[in-house]
Amino acid sequence: MSTNVAIEIKDLTKKYDDKVAVDGINLEIYKGECFGLLGPNGAGKSTTMKMMYCSALVTSGELYVLGLNVKKNYREIKSRIGVVPQEDGLDPDFTVLENLRVYASFHNIPSAEADLRAQALLRLMKLEEYQDRSVETLSGGMKRRLAIARGLINSPEVVFLDEPTTGLDPQARIWIWDFFKHLKSEKSTLVLTTHYMEEAEQMCDRVAIIDDGRILTVGKPRDLIRELIGKEVVEFDTNPVDLNYYLGRLRAEGFSYQVIKDTVSVLVKENQEGRRVVDLIASDKIYIRKPTLNDVFLKLAGHQLRDE
C-alpha cells in the first residue's frame, strides 16, 4: 500500500444477523483529504465508518487504517484517530473540562499534558468560558463543538465525523463547517458522513455515494456532477397527461432527464443549452438551476437522497 493512503477497504461487508448493512465495498481514502460518505439514512455509511473507527466488527473483507489492520491492531488505530460520533456521547456526570480530561485519560495522555491540550481546544472551539459548566446545560451546537474537541484531544492523524451537523441550527452548522475548513487547511485527514449535499460539495475533496450498502460512485464532487449530470438542470412540474408528450420532445432533441412523480429534471450537457428546454416545455413552473450532488444520487439510485 502506498504511504499516502490513510484508509484502504477491500470487499468489506457487514451483516447484522442476516441483514446486510454493507455489501462488498472497495475504497481508498488518501491522507490529507476530506472525504465524504453520502447516502440516505440506512444506506450503510455510518456502519462503514464505524468499522473504520473500530466500533463495529468486520464481517468479511479487509480494512486497513493508517496501514494497520482493524481486526488486529484496533487499539493502536484508536489511539491514532479521533472520532466524533453521531450521538455526542458526552458524559453528563461531568463538566466541560472534565469531559476532556477524562477522555484524555482513556487515551493515556498524562494529566498535565491533557490540561494544556484541553485548554487549547476549548479556546479553539470557543468554549473556554463554559469549561466549568455541566455538559447538560450546553446548547446542541456547543455540545457538538465539545464532542469535536474531545475527538481532537489525542492529536489524531485521521478524524471521523458521523453526521457532524445533523440536528444543529444553521448558525451552529456554519460555525462547524468553517472549523472543518480550518482543519483542512492544517492538512488533517477528515472522513465524514452527511446528508447535506451543498456542504459536502463545498467541503469534500472526494465523495462516495452509498446506497443499500454499496458504493454507487466515487469522485470529486465537481467531476461527478459534470460527468453524470452536466452543466445545468432544468426542472419543471407537469401532469401525467402531458408528461409523455414532453418527454418525447426532450428525447427528440437529445436531452436526458429523470422523473420523480410529476417533476422532471432535464440534465443539460456541456454542448447543450438550457434555454432550449424552456422553449420546448410550456410550463410556468420551470426553472434552470445549478446541478448538485443530489442530482447525481438521483440518477444513480433512482430515488431521492433525502428519502428515508
Contact set for other proteins, span 149-188 (CB under 8 A): 151, 154
Range in contact with other proteins (rule: CB under 8 A) among 50-58, 136-144, 198-206, 215-223: 50-58
Contact set for other proteins, span 94-113 (CB under 8 A): 94, 98, 102-103, 105-108
| Pairwise CA distance, residues 64 & 6, whole Å | 8
Range in contact with other proteins (rule: CB under 8 A) among 34-42, 76-84, 196-204, 243-251: 76-84
Interaction between residue 212 and other proteins (CB under 8 A): no
Between 107 and 231, name the residue whose CB sits nearer to other proteins: 107
Range in contact with other proteins (rule: CB under 8 A) among 83-91, 180-188, 239-247, 295-303: 83-91
**What single string gives the DSSP state of each residue in 175-238?**
HHHHHHHHHHHTT-EEEEEES-HHHHHHH-SEEEEEETTEEEEEE-HHHHHHHHT-SEEEEEE-
Contact set for other proteins, span 16-45 (CB under 8 A): 16
CA 144 vs CA 58, 105, 139, 196: distances in Å: 28, 20, 9, 17
Report strand pairing: 189-194 vs 34-38: parallel
Interaction between residue 89 and other proteins (CB under 8 A): yes
| Pairwise CA distance, residues 129 & 133, whole Å | 9
Interaction between residue 79 and other proteins (CB under 8 A): yes
Contact footprint for other proteins (CB under 8 A): 16, 53, 55-57, 74-76, 78-79, 83, 85, 87, 89-94, 98, 102-103, 105-108, 151, 154
